[in-house]
Structures are given as structure tokens and as C-alpha cells.
């Protein structure tokens, strides 16, 4: 599936970036525009969205995971079909900001026993909750263990889950087991069946890898790895690394037993054993109910009382003025003589007369100024403020004063709306003669220019069109595009029709035509590997199935187009996958009950005809035709005689 980043799904979820892609679906980081929060959006690949069985499984995954409520399980929030744009079946999950256990192991290599136990406890706790309502995950692996930045561990991707709420995840037509082969239990590889103990086997393999830094089995092809899980015993952790506690070594060894009966019989038992080991490794550890989360920080009481000031420290100012005392040694002042009194009166009279003349002059100036301003030639009208008003509103304010208005200038403004007055000449509070004019400077609103439609134009034509407005060409990015011919514009940013400021750079995306991708030959390799890698390379892959006597079950018999050349990205590739040999050997069903013999033969795609003889109450098989060991084609008829 091509990258859908930037699209709006279901009119609500804006795809921000592609996070991961697998064989069934692609996961995007998205924004829920309705609730303004980040979510993870899982979109099924287009070639699977046409398969009713896969769509049903996808929907059942949403229902199954939504039924799980546990702090260590990624919650499902929504599911639906995108109707308004690109056809897509999608699943909305909580967005986990962090990384996967695979990333952690890639960086660290291996973990100490105590660290490994700290990781395993929340994983097994989540599985215990799922198992209690009848859901088996079936695909536990480091890639499906998420670690948030807050320390919370989450189990994701119940896409292969099986249980009462889901039904089955394996088709009888393909007989191809889905899942990651390095972590599959032997019973899943052999018979395609799984129960809670199968998840515990996968957890044991994950634990082995966390502690030792490597998987127990490595091979060139997935089929070889699956064969080793069935026919070889996973070694003890202590054989790969020293210093492992015996209890942890024994627990991992029992969890990876090929016989499900030898493993812990439930996730609850496994969890209890892990907690005992945790206490053994760290006896002083405080037991908490929140699995592996950091303890919540206590909420500090932010209320504060105003500081009190002791009364003793408050300084009071004196409200009384102490009377001045004369020094006893000072002599009293002499009384004024009559001559001095007459001299003082003469000086005072001259000053008073001068002040009276000054006051008279000021009064004359004020009267003259008032006459000039109010009655004489200096008469002026005070202009009211019209800033922020419309022209009509401003004229209504000026008309009663006998003033005339004119629009002298129109300018762009980021703050004043279009049609509103920015300022006037004279400004508010200024004066103008009766019948005088007031000039308006009016806003044209923000300076904006519409981005023209550039899609489908050549670069030169797009550049010429942009230069008609004061906007410029920004970055030019080449991209592959299956619909737009090479050299033509695919899109612009900001998009066509957007309003932009002067001199805004418009980034342009130019088509390089259809992308050519090398096509590898997968003949003889795993069909799952071919499907995943070709889909990741951008091809539209369809798998068909046929019997083959020369090609192993699950391997590719042929592909169309063949490998070795380049093909258009998104082109259709058809894989023909082997279902195993067309011929089978008649098994020995002598002495079996009718039901058991019939079931065994039908499992080999043989038709069974039963002949009953005798009067015995409990009957068993007494004869088989064709005889035991005969090589026959699938679909052949086998006659069994019971008596």
C-alpha cells in the first residue's frame, strides 16, 4: 500500500506519518481531529481488504481487543471503513509514545536476569487477563511489546488472536500458519492449533532472547527454523550465560518445552513464579500492583499561608510632634524699631503693584485668545476619533460638525479588518476649520494572495503563474507518481486555493513518473516471506495455492511476473504457493473406531466410505481398501470395513 500520510480518514483521523508496515496492515501515527489527540491508526492492505475472511478477522481483532481492559494491553478505540476517500478498513488504537522491546534489545544486546523479570511480569500479566476471557494472542514477539516513555509496557497486535470472541485464524485451504516463526510453538507449526500454553512458549523464547541476547534457533529460511522448533529442544539459558538463578533457568526451560503439558499450565501460574523470582533477586523490592510502572509521584500540597509578622517587629511612626524647646542659653529677639517697619511696608507695596500689572496682562491675553479661537479668525472644530470605524460610521460622526471626508489611501493591515479606518488626518482630537476636510486611511485587510492550481502543469508554466503575484517558488521536490507524467507538477504546499502572505515560498512537488522497483525471484522460498517483502516493496501481491510433489509446503512454486527484472511499483504480482504433495499414503487405521479412522483419513483430504458387518456393539476397522501404505491422490475414495 502506498503511503497515505496527510489523508483524512473517515472525516476524522488525519494521518501524520507511517510508523510501521507488516504483511497484513500499515500503522500510522494520526490525529483525532474531533478530540484533538494522537492515536495509532492500523489500515489493512488493499489486497487483503478485498478478502472477506481477512476483513472479518480484522474486525474481530477490534472486538476482541476492545473486550480487554488491562493497563498492559493497547486499547482499541474505534473501527470502521473510510467512505469519503481512499477505500480502507481501519482500526484506531491508543498511541504509545516510545519504542518496542526489539528496539531496546537492539540497543542493549541482552538484559540482566532482574531486568528481564521486570519486563516479563507485565507481559505475562496482560496475557493472563486475555486468557481468562478465552483469548490467545498467538503472536508474542519483541516487536509486539511496546515500552512507553513513561515506563508502561503494553502488548499490541491481537491480529492473530484466537478465542471464543474471534474464531479461527488459519484457513484449511492454505494450511499456512500465520505468525513469526522464531516464536511459534511446535503445536502451531505442526497442527496449526494454539491454546494459552502456546503463548507461554512464545514468552519463554522472548525471555531466552532477552537474557542471552540471541534466539535459540537461527537458520537461513523460516521453514528451517520452524523445523528446529518441532524437532529440537530449546537449550537452557544457563548454557549460554553464567550467573542465571536456578529458579529462572528452570522456569524458562519449562516454558519452552515442546510438550505443552510440561509448561506452566496457565499464565497466572507463570506470573506467580516470576514474582517469586523477583523477590528472590531483590528481597527489598517494594511490592506494587502497577506492573512495571513507575510509582506515581505524590501530589504536593501547593497551598501556602501568608507569612506572619510578629507585632514586636512592626515599627510604628510617631503621630505626635514633640514641641521644640528653646535653649536656655539663647537670648530673646529684639523688637523691631519703627524705622524698620516703614522700610518693609515700602518694599511690600512695590511688589504688590508689579503682580497686579502682570495679572491684568494675563487676563487680557486670555480674553483675546478666546475671542480669536471662538469668534474670530482662529475658530476651529475638534475632530472626533474615527479609527476602527467603517466609512459610513465615520461620516455619520463628522456630518453634524459640517466636516467633509475623503479616502486618501487604502493600505493592507494585519490588525484592522477590511473596510475599517486605520487613521485620519487630522487625527482624533485635532482641529480643523469649519467646513474643512478630514482624510481617511482605510484598511484593505491582511495582504493575502491565493495559490493557483499548479497540478498537471510543467515547472516553467507553474513558475510563470506564481510570478504573476508577489509569491515565489520554494523548494522543488521530485517524487514518483503513478498517475502524473514525468516532469509535471504533482502538488504544491501550501495547497492550491490557500491564502498566503507576500513573498511566501510555494514548495512544489514534481513527478518523476512511475517508480521502477527491482523484482526478486522468490521461487523455492517461503510464501509468507515473499508476500511480506513484495508488499513492503510496494507491489500488489496475490497468493494462490496448488499441490506440488517437488516443492515443500508453504514455499513458492512460481511467480508472475518472474524475478530478475524491474517492474512498476504497485504492479500486480501473483504467487503460486505449494500446499504439499498431491499424493498421500493410506495410513494404518486397523482396530481404530469408525469415527477416529474416518477423521484421520479425511484430514488427508480422502473420501471415506464405511462398510459395516457383524452385530458387535463396539465396532472397529477390520479392513481398508486400498491397502495400508498405498500411495493415492488426494480426493481418492477409501473404503473401510468395520465390524
**Has 139 been annotated as catalytic?**
yes
Please name the residues in contact with 594: beta carbons below 8 A apart, sequence gap of 6 or more.
Answer: 610, 619, 620, 621, 640, 642
List, in sequence order, every residue forming a beta bridge with 593; answer none if it has no partner.
620
Helix (H, G, I), strand (E, B), or coil: what is residue 439? strand
**Candidates 51, 139, 293, 395; catalytic one:** 139
Question: In what helix (H) or strand (E) does residue 422 lie, and over which residues does it extend?
Answer: strand 421-425
Cα separation of 158 and 137, whole Å?
6
Say whether 167 sits in a helix, a strand or coil.
strand
The residue with cell 510433489 is 549
Residue listed under C-alpha cell 532472547 = 209
CB 44 within 8 A of CB 31: no
The conformation of residue 458, written as its DSSP 8-state character, comes to B
Cell of 298: 505524590
Q: How far apart are CA 396 and CA 403, in angstroms?
A: 10
Pairing of the two strands 637-642 and 621-625: antiparallel
Instruction: Report the C-alpha gap between 21 and 43 in whole angstroms.
Output: 9
Sign of CA dihedral 35, 37, 42, 43: positive
Q: How many CB atoms lie within 10 A of CB 429?
A: 9
CA angle, residues 175, 178, 182, in degrees to nearest 5: 115
Which residues are catalytic, by number?
A: 139
Amino acid at each position: 500500500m502506498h503511503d497515505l500520510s496527510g489523508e483524512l480518514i473517515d472525516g476524522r483521523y488525519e494521518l501524520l506519518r507511517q510508523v510501521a508496515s507488516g504483511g497484513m496492515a500499515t500503522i500510522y501515527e494520526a490525529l483525532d481531529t474531533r478530540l484533538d489527540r494522537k492515536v495509532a491508526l492500523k489500515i489493512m492492505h488493499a489486497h487483503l481488504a478485498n478478502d472477506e475472511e481477512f476483513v472479518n478477522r480484522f474486525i474481530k481483532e477490534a472486538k476482541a481487543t476492545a473486550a480487554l481492559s488491562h493497563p498492559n494491553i493497547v486499547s482499541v478505540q474505534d473501527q470502521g471503513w473510510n467512505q469519503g476517500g481512499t477505500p480502507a478498513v481501519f482500526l484506531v488504537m491508543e498511541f504509545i509514545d516510545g519504542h518496542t522491546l526489539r528496539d531496546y534489545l537492539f540497543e542493549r544486546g541482552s538484559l540482566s536476569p532482574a531486568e528481564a523479570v521486570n519486563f516479563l511480569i507485565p507481559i505475562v500479566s496482560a496475557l493472563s487477563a486475555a486468557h481468562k476471557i478465552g483469548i490467545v494472542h498467538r503472536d508474542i514477539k519483541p516487536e509486539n511489546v511496546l515500552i512507553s516513555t513513561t515506563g508502561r509496557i503494553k502488548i499490541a497486535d491481537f491480529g492473530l488472536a484466537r478465542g471464543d470472541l474471534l474464531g479461527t485464524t488459519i484457513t484449511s485451504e492454505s494450511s499456512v500458519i500465520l505468525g513469526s516463526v522464531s516464536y511459534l510453538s511446535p503445536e502451531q507449526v505442526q497442527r496449526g492449533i494454539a491454546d494459552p500454553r502456546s503463548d507461554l512458549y512464545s514468552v519463554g523464547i522472548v525471555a531466552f532472547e532477552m537474557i542471552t541476547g540471541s534466539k535459540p534457533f537461527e537458520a537461513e529460511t523460516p521453514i528451517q527454523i520452524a523445523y528446529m522448533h518441532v524437532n529440537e529442544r530449546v537449550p537452557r539459558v544457563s548454557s549460554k550465560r553464567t550467573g542465571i538463578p536456578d529458579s529462572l533457568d528452570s522456569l524458562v526451560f519449562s516454558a519452552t518445552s515442546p510438550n505443552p503439558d510440561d509448561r506452566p499450565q496457565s499464565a497466572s501460574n507463570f506470573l506467580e513464579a516470576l514474582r517469586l523470582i523477583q523477590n528472590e533477586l531483590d528481597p527489598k523490592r517494594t511490592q506494587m500492583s502497577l506492573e512495571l510502572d513507575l510509582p506515581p509521584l505524590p501530589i504536593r500540597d501547593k497551598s501556602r499561608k501568608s507569612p506572619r509578622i510578629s507585632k514586636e517587629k512592626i515599627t510604628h511612626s510617631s503621630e505626635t510632634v514633640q514641641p521644640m524647646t528653646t535653649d536656655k542659653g539663647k537670648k530673646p529677639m529684639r523688637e523691631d524699631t519703627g524705622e524698620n517697619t516703614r522700610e518693609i511696608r515700602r518694599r511690600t507695596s512695590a511688589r504688590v503693584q508689579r503682580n497686579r500689572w502682570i495679572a491684568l496682562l494675563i487676563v487680557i491675553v486670555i480674553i483675546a485668545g478666546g475671542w480669536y479661537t471662538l469668534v474670530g479668525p482662529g475658530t476651529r472644530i475638534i475632530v472626533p476619533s474615527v479609527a476602527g470605524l467603517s466609512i459610513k460610521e465615520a461620516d455619520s460622526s463628522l456630518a453634524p460638525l459640517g466636516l467633509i471626508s475623503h479616502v486618501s489611501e487604502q493600505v493592507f493591515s494585519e490588525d484592522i479588518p477590511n473596510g475599517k479606518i486605520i487613521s485620519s488626518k487630522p487625527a482624533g482630537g485635532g482641529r480643523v476649520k469649519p467646513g474643512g476636510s478630514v482624510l481617511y486611511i482605510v484598511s484593505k485587510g491582511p495582504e493575502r494572495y491565493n495559490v493557483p492550481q499548479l497540478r498537471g502543469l510543467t515547472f516553467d508554466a507553474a513558475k510563470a503563474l506564481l510570478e504573476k503575484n508577489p509569491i515565489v517558488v520554494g523548494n522543488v521536490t521530485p517524487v514518483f507518481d503513478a498517475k502524473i507524467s514525468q516532469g509535471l507538477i504533482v502538488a504544491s504546499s501550501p495547497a492550491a486555493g490557500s491564502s498566503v502572505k507576500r513573498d511566501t515560498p510555494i514548495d512544489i512537488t514534481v513527478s518523476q513518473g512511475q517508480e521502477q522497483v527491482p523484482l526478486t525471484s522468490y521461487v523455492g522460498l517461503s510464501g509468507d516471506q515473499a508476500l511480506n517483502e513484495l508488499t513492503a516493496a510496494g507491489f500488489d501481491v496475490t497468493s494462490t495455492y496448488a499441490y506440488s510433489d517437488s516443492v515443500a509446503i508453504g514455499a513458492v512454486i512460481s511467480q508472475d511476473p518472474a524475478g530478475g527484472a524491474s517492474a512498476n511499483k504497485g504492479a500486480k504480482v501473483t504467487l503460486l504457493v505449494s500446499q504439499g504433495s498431491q499424493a498421500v499414503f493410506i495410513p494404518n487405521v486397523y482396530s481404530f473406531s469408525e469415527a477416529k479412522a474416518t477423521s484421520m483419513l479425511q484430514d488427508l483430504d480422502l473420501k471415506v466410505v464405511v462398510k459395516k458387518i457383524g452385530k458387535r456393539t463396539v465396532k472397529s476397522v477390520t479392513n481398508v481398501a486400498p491397502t495400508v501404505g498405498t500411495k493415492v491422490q488426494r480426493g481418492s475414495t477409501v473404503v473401510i470395513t468395520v465390524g
